[in-house]
């Protein structure tokens, strides 16, 4: 895992789109069936838009019917927090 990145809210707002900021920094959720990756079937790795850490492999993605990308396991447990 990369070192924790420390930036002010203003710095994050300058680097991220408003939706990315709400989802990544404020624990928001994009609307179901609208996100860039909910129906993506390309092979690859999903990375954090803030730090670049590898989060999930497309091999662990499944269709949950919820409208959001769903994965059964992260690439590394230390790169993903759950609540």
Domain assignment of residue 28, yes or no: yes
Domain assignment of residue 70, yes or no: yes
pLDDT of 38 over the 90 cut: no
Domain assignment of residue 1, yes or no: no
Domain assignment of residue 59, yes or no: yes
Domain assignment of residue 4, yes or no: no
Report pLDDT for 4. 83
Domain assignment of residue 16, yes or no: yes
Domain at 65, CATH number: 2.170.150.20
Domain assignment of residue 62, yes or no: yes
Write down the pTM of the prediction.
Answer: 0.83
pLDDT of 1 over the 70 cut: no
User: How many structural domains are present in the chain?
Assistant: 1
- Domain span at 28: 9-79
Domain assignment of residue 2, yes or no: no
18, 25, 56, 59, 83 from 75: Cα distances, Å: 27, 21, 5, 10, 18
């Amino acid at each position: 895992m990369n070192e924790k990145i420390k930036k002010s809210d203003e710095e994050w707002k300058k680097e991220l789109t408003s939706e990315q900021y709400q989802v990544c920094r404020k624990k928001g959720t994009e609307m179901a069936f609208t996100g860039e990756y909910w129906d993506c079937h390309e092979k690859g790795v999903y990375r954090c838009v803030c730090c670049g850490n590898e989060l999930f492999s497309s091999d662990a993605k499944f269709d949950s019917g919820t409208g959001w990308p769903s994965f059964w396991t992260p690439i590394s447990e230390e790169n993903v927090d759950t609540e």
